[in-house]
Amino acid sequence: MNNICFVTGNKNKLREVQKLLLSHNLLSLEDLDFSDDIPETEDTIEGNAFLKADHIHKKFGVSCFSDDTGLFIESLDGQPGVMSARFAGSNCNSEDNISLVLEMLSGIENRKAFFRTVICLIVNGKVNYFHGEVKGQISKEKAGDKGFGYDPIFIPDGFDKTFSEFTLDKKNELSHRALAVNKLVNFLNGYE
């Protein structure tokens, strides 16, 4: 399979995944001239990943995959989880989400968290899922200027800096998305 569409409007995600999927011709939604919003109405990240891939597969008939990611914080009972994109409200941005997380964790010692990515691949109507998780801690304050989303406050286990202080290549060596994408790559490489 040569052409495959990554169902995302997020240029940061596209850049990360493009580096990992070198042997395939990755199409973006821009290449399909598609710019509509696909509402994420499910209550699991698997469900939302499926919604996005299914929408594009049905509309364009192309092989495609989407990713949905959540940040799960232990002392907030797994929040923001599936609500990660809209944690601080429906029109919020990453700055707002980060501020809310830091405010809710203020004075709390347990800062354990993990990122979880689910990729949903649809080829000829057949659906496959690939998962990736990375454990870490929420920092006390923001650090770094690379990455996106919650990267400035997430310190992966075994390191003393946030994902925003990593280069893209370094983040791609261990991130939740890279783990899921590598499983996708292995699957695609064995696909006729």
Catalytic positions, written as ranges? 68
- Does position 75 interact with ligand IMP (CB under 6 A)? The reply is no
Residue in the shown chain whose Cβ atom is closest to ligand IMP: 149
- Does position 152 interact with ligand IMP (CB under 6 A)? The reply is no
Candidate segments 98-106, 123-131, 142-150, 181-189, binder of ligand IMP by CB under 6 A: 142-150
- Tokens 């689910």 identify what position? 118
Distance CA 84, CA 151 (A): 12
| Nearer residue to ligand IMP within complex by CB, 93 or 189 | 93
**Nearest residue to 48 via CA among 67, 65, 61:** 67
Q: Which residues, listed in sequence order, are joined to residue 135 by a DSSP beta bridge? A: 114
Candidate segments 53-61, 99-107, 144-152, 182-190, binder of ligand IMP by CB under 6 A: 144-152
- Does position 66 interact with ligand IMP (CB under 6 A)? The reply is no
- Tokens 């990736």 identify what position? 132
Site string for ligand IMP, 90-129 (x = CB under 6 A): ----x--x--------------------------------
Q: Phi and psi at residue 2, in whole multiples of 5°?
A: -95, -55
Distance CA 15, CA 171 (A): 12
Tell which one of 17, 24, 69, 105 touches ligand IMP (CB under 6 A). Answer: 69
Rounded least distance, CB 14 to ligand IMP, Å: 11
Reading phi first (left if > 0) and then psi (alpha if -120 to 50, else beta), residue 149 is in left
| Nearer residue to ligand IMP within complex by CB, 113 or 185 | 113
Distance CA 92, CA 99 (A): 11
